Structures are given as structure tokens and as C-alpha cells.
Chains A and B, each alone.
Chain A
Amino acid sequence: MTETQAQGETAHRTDVAIIGAGPVGLFAVFELGLLGIKAHLIDILDRPGGQCAELYPEKPIYDIPALPVVSGQELTDRLMEQIKPFSPVFHLSQMATDIAKTETGWRVTTDMDVAIDAKAVVIAAGGGSFTPKKPPLKELPEFEGKSVFYAVRRREAFAGKNLVIAGGGDSALDWTLDLLPVVNSLTLLHRRDDFRAAPHSVAQMRKLVEEGKMKLEIANLKGLEGENGQVSALTVARADKSEDRIPCDTLLAFYGLTMKLGPVGALCEKLGIALENNLIPVDTEKFETSVDGLFAIGDINFYPGKLKLILSGFHEAALMAQKAFHYVYPGQKLRFEYTTSSSNLQEKLGVK
């Protein structure tokens, strides 16, 4: 991957902070870049591309102008290539949790305590932030964060545990192999004896099962037993419908990701923007919200006639940039130019 992943520093200064690195957030970097505006992007996913990369990397898209067919991943890769000249800075695997007005503009803060100071903020949060899918079990909330987890923040937290890892994808397999040396016992629980994960990790897991170093259970998770947030066993149903118990003290569940509106909703309300069906109302001239300097583009916004298409998001990004220019360069005149003929734009693109 060619993008710059910001690390270490905690306070950044840029022109525009973009929340969401889906196709629309990515193309916003391009349109802003042509106008000499720098951008930082935040995404909870560990890579750019939003829905295209997470939900349908291999599926074909047929309605991107001039690309008769392109897969979700390919579109993402091409956008990354297109915005490379503008050196956007990515803050990945973190959630934007606050947007606040400052004396000089805005400050966006993430759950990893990264702060980005900018002259304008663009919400390109799409269908919402990707969050772990949870099994629909009534008793689950009682255990969450205490003995049931959906991610590993600190490996050491699992030391000496009797751990069950549920799932059959890469996350489940990778963490099985990674945590086995630190836990007391480990069981991998998957609904069927067929794994989506990388074949070499599956082979390695099967070998460990054969050697008796861990267990593999093929069954459906049906419920949790325990009290005060401490799980003591899982109840599961096997393919033949028989029920069984798996004693354990910790569960790590990897059932993929789903989109939830997340903090963006509450943040808008805090700033006085009333959402419409969980979408952010904007005007159709600049795609700005009712708050000056705060824009919303792509799937997250709403206006009469809105279509949730990548194409529409790209258009919105271009018009947003025209207005954002005036927050970044107050008082300056904006010239309308074509990339074909403007040596100024070509210089920015690094083709001249």
C-alpha cells in the first residue's frame, strides 16, 4: 500500500479533515487537491475503500463513468493511485468520536486520541462506521467488555484464559494462532468444517488440533452461561441438533463487520443538525450542512432526489471542494480550470 499511515504524533494540522475513507472520501482528496487543499482521512477500517473494499471487493460495478466494469477493490486501488500526488494522510483503525469548533476552525478527535485541526470537516461516513457483528443473544450485553470481546486490544489481557474463539475467517484464525501461546486453553468454534481464512493458517490450526494443543468444535453458538458478566460456558447446537456445553471463561467472537451509524449521528445532533432517517441533510450547491464549514458527501447525506451511488458522491465531492476552498483560503479568488489544459493543475498532479 502506498498511502502514508500517520503514527506516533497526536496533534495534526491540515486543511480539511475527512471522516470516512470510502470511495467518496477518497475522491474528495482529489477534488480538494486540485484546488491546493490538503487532507487527512479517518476510518475505522484498517484499509481504505469503505463498502467497496469491505462488502464487495470482488463484485463488479458497471456504472462508473468510462469504466465499463470494475471490481470494488480495483476501484479503490485506482482511486488510491489517482490521489497519490496529493499525499493524503490516513488515520486508519480508529473511530472519529468528536468534532468540535475551535477558534481557527475545527478539531476532529479519534478514539485513539489523535486530534486533527482543520479549516473544514467533511463527513463521508457512508452507511456508517463498520462495527463487529454480534450474535443476536439476549444475554450478550451483560458479558460484553467483561468476558466477551470482538477485538483484541491487548494480547496480554488473554493470558492464562480458557478462551473460545468463534468464527471461520482470517481474524478468527490469525488470533487463534497468535493467542495460543499465551492462553491456558483454546477452542475454535465455527458453524461448519470449512474455513474462509488463508489456507496456510487453516492447515496450521488443523495440525495444532491433531497434536492436542487446541480444540476445534463445529457447532452453532446458542447461548451463554455465567453471572455478573463472567461467562462460564457456551451452549451450542451441533449439526444433528443436539445441544452441548463448552466450558470457558472468555469468548472472542469474529463474525464479520456490519455498518452502524456510530458517533457521527450524535455528533451532528450535538452541533445542532437534525438527522433525517439517520442521514445528514445538506444543500445541493455545496453539500454543506446547516453548520458553516461542516460538509457531508456520499451515502451519509440527504437531499431531495438523493441516489446512493458512487457517481453521485463523486459529483458532491467536486462541488464541496469549491466551497471548502473559501474556508481554507479566505478572500482568495478561485479560478475554474480544466485538468487537460491547466499547467497549474498538471503541476499539482505531478504530470508536468
Chain B
Amino acid sequence: MKLRVTDREGHDHEIDAIEGWRVMEIIRDHAMQTPALAIKAECGAALACGTCHVYVDADWVDRLVPPTAEETERMEEDVFALEDNSRLSCQILMTEELDGLHVTLAPGSEP
């Protein structure tokens, strides 16, 4: 299972994903070897910070479970450069159907 992540410099990385893990956790796990993937994720998925902000590739937006009201509110409060394809990566759970998911690290997600 793969996840494609574009870093903040525009470089693409294909990384191994783990079913049941949050996309934020998968990216953070790979950041140890690949510093360009470093993601702040300050609150550790508690929906308290917005620093795990990513843009979801247009092809994938509709295939994700839509954001909860709490996630939308957090993005509106705490995220700069909010776009229609913005999501908090700590709220996206990796599943078989999402094999190949492509996200881009958003400004403000750098540690």
C-alpha cells in the first residue's frame, strides 16, 4: 500500500503506507529518514492545532470520508492558506481503497 506525498518544495515521495494508520502518522514515520517530509502535527491528532494540514489531489478528494464538523471548524480556525481540497492529515485513516492517495504538505505544517 502506497502514499504519494509532495513536500513543501514540490518534490514527490512515494512511501509505504500502513492500513489503519493516520496519514499524518505515516508521513511522520517516514520523516525520520526523509527530513523533507517533516510535519509538525503538534497536537498528535487531537484536532487541536491544524499543523498537519495537507492538500488532497483533485482525483482523491471525493474518495475520502468527508471531514467531520469538528475537523472543518479546526481548519477554519487554525489553518492558513485554506483551499477547497484542504484536509487535516491526522483525520484521514489509511485503508485499502486509499492505496495510492496523493497529498501535498501545506504551508504551516513545517515543524
Chain B 29-49 interface mask (CB, 8 Å, partner A; 1/0) = 000000000001011001011
CB distance from B96 to the nearest CB of A (A): 30
How many Å lie between the Cα of A55 and that of B80 in the bound state?
18
In the bound assembly, the distance between CA atoms of A192 and B81 in angstroms comes to 14
Residues 123-143 of A, flagged 1 when their CB comes within 8 A of B and 0 if not, give 000010000010110000000
Q: Which residues of B contact A191 (CB under 8 A)?
A: 76, 82
Give the distance to chain B from A245, nearest Cβ to Cβ, in Å.
Answer: 19
Is the Cβ of B48 less than 8 Å from the Cβ of A59? yes
Indicate if A290 sits at the interface (CB-CB under 8 A): no
Q: Is the interface of A mostly helix, strand, loop or mixed?
A: loop
Cβ of B42 and Cβ of A168 under 8 Å apart? no
Cα distance, A59 to B70, chains bound together (Å): 13
Closest-CB distance, B69 to chain A (whole angstroms): 12
Query: How distant is A279 from chain B, measured CB to nearest CB, in Å?
Result: 13
Contact B43 A55 (CB under 8 A): yes
Decide yes or no: A256 and B80 within 8 Å by CB, A55-B42, A56-B46, A136-B107 being known contacts.
no
How many residues on B have C-beta within 8 angstroms of the other chain's C-beta atoms? 15
Q: How far is the CB of A131 from chain B (nearest CB, A)?
A: 12
Within 8 A of A (CB), among B13-60: 40, 42-43, 46, 48-49, 51
Residues of B within 8 A of A168 (CB): 77
CA distance A136 to B82 in the complex (A): 12
A112 within 8 A of B: no
B46 near A55 with CB under 8 A, answer yes
Give A56 to B48 CA distance when docked, in angstroms. 7
A256 with B78: in contact, given A56-B43, A56-B46, A59-B46 (CB under 8 Å)? Answer: yes
- Known contacts A191-B82, A220-B82, A258-B42; A55 and B77 CB within 8 A of each other: no
Given contacts A191-B82, A220-B82, A258-B51, contact A136 B108 (CB under 8 A): yes
**Chain B contact residues, majority secondary structure:** loop
A152 within 8 A of B: no
Please provide the chain A residues from 218 to 260 with a CB less than 8 Å away from any CB of chain B in the complex: 220-221, 255-256, 258-259
> Contact between B81 and A136 (Cβ–Cβ < 8 Å)?
yes
- Residue A196 at the chain B interface, CB threshold 8 Å: yes
Interface residues of A in 40-73 (CB under 8 A from B): 55-56, 59
* Chain B 74-87 per-residue mask, 1 if CB under 8 angstroms from chain A, else 0: 00111011100000
Question: Contacts of B108 on A, CB cut-off 8 Å?
Answer: 136
A258 to B43, CA, bound (A): 10
Which residue in A127, A192, A221, A255 is a CB contact (below 8 Å) of B42?
A: A127
Given A59-B48, A221-B80, 20 new contacts (CB under 8 A): A55-B42, A55-B43, A55-B46, A55-B48, A55-B49, A56-B43, A136-B80, A136-B81, A136-B107, A136-B108, A168-B77, A192-B76, A194-B76, A196-B77, A220-B81, A220-B82, A255-B78, A255-B80, A258-B49, A259-B42
Please give the residue numbers on chain A whose beta carbons come within 8 Å of chain B beta carbons, in ascending order: 55-56, 59, 127, 133, 135-136, 168, 191-192, 194, 196, 220-221, 255-256, 258-259
B residues contacting A by CB (< 8 A) are 40, 42-43, 46, 48-49, 51, 76-78, 80-82, 107-108
